[in-house]
Amino acid sequence: MKYISFLIGGKYQYVLLSSIATVIQTATTNVNLFMVNGTHKYVLTGTNLGTGVESAQAIQAAMFKAASTGWTNADMQVTLPGGSAITSVAVATI
């Protein structure tokens, strides 16, 4: 299993890589990770996530790196653009 992780309040929050179907940045404060089950999404809330797709691209890059590494490297930390931060991860229905 592979995970991407977000540093939130000094602790890591992990999201299972194989559960993510697509990543869409909806605002400067939100990024949605839609789950493959089609009924739920991870809602990432943060600050200064960018005005375009900067944070979504950073998450996608971490997903690609995680998928490209060996099985012993199970976690890939998401590195957001400078000044950006994720403050919470929640699950919501679509």
pLDDT in tens, 57-80: 999 999 999 999 998 999 999 999
Neighbours of 27 (CB within 10 A): 11
Domain residue ranges of the chain, discontinuous segments joined by +: 3-93
CA 45 from chain centre, in angstroms, equals 10
Predicted local distance difference test score (pLDDT) of residue 5? 96
Helix (H) or strand (E) holding 34: strand 30-35
Predicted local distance difference test score (pLDDT) of residue 51? 73
Say what the pTM is.
0.91
Of the candidate ranges 6-20, 45-59, 60-74, the one whose mean pLDDT is the lowest: 45-59
Please provide the average confidence, as pLDDT, over all residues in the chain.
93
Q: Structure tokens of 48?
A: 């200064």
* Rounded CA separation 64/42 (Å): 18
Residue 13 pairs in a beta bridge with 6
